[in-house]
């Protein structure tokens, strides 16, 4: 399976400081899953304001992990929620997102274990 994460930016940002890089990755691992649950819950509750906020927060975090496709998908979910249009596409997009976040967690946990 092709890798979904790319830590090139964070590696440059951390200036070669591995502990700093691992701190950011660890912060992502602590919050991304929770944020994803909030995205799912908001869809289940049809709470579009909450969905917009949850997608918005997760969007920045996946960006720093180099997950550009996931970021685009979150941007589109945020827009569906904000404009309350195309909501029929949200369910399928959230399923895709959930799989992407789960894959990123596997990749990043493995990165932490190796470094």
Partner 1 sequence: MAKNTLIFVVDDDLMQQDMLKDHLSAMSNFTIKTFSTGEECLEQLSQNPDVVFLDYHLSSQNANAMDGLDILREIKAKNPLTEVVMLSGQDKIEVAVDTMKYGAFDYIVKGESAFYRAEKAVYNLYKMAKLKRDAGMYKTFTITFGLAFLLMIILVVVLKSKGLISDRAGWF
Residues interacting with partner 1, by CB under 8 A? 9, 13, 15, 20, 23-24, 27-28, 31, 49-50, 53-54, 56-57, 59-61, 63-64
Nearest to 111 by CA among 32, 15, 21, 36: 21
Number of CB atoms found within 10 A of residue 89's CB: 12
How far, in Å, are 22, 68, 83 from residue 26 at the CA level? 6, 19, 33
Length of the chain: 115
Q: Which is nearer to partner 1, 53 or 104 (CB)?
A: 53
The CB-of-87 to partner 1 minimum distance in angstroms stands at: 20
CB 104 within 8 A of CB 67: yes
Q: Which is nearer to partner 1, 59 or 93 (CB)?
A: 59
The CB-of-19 to partner 1 minimum distance in angstroms stands at: 11
Q: Which is nearer to partner 1, 17 or 92 (CB)?
A: 17
The CB-of-85 to partner 1 minimum distance in angstroms stands at: 17
CA atoms of 86 and 60, how far apart (whole Å): 23
Q: Which is nearer to partner 1, 1 or 101 (CB)?
A: 101
């Amino acid at each position: 399976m092709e890798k979904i994460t790319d830590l090139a930016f964070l590696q440059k940002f951390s200036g070669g400081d591995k502990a700093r890089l691992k701190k950011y990755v660890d912060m992502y691992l602590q919050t991304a899953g929770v944020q994803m649950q909030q995205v799912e819950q908001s869809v289940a509750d049809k709470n579009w304001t909450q969905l917009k906020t949850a997608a918005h927060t997760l969007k920045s975090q996946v960006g720093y992990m180099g997950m550009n496709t996931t970021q685009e998908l979150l941007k589109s979910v945020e827009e569906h929620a904000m404009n309350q249009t195309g909501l029929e596409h949200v369910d399928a997009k959230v399923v895709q997102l959930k799989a992407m976040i789960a894959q990123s967690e596997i990749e990043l946990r493995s990165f932490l274990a190796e470094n």
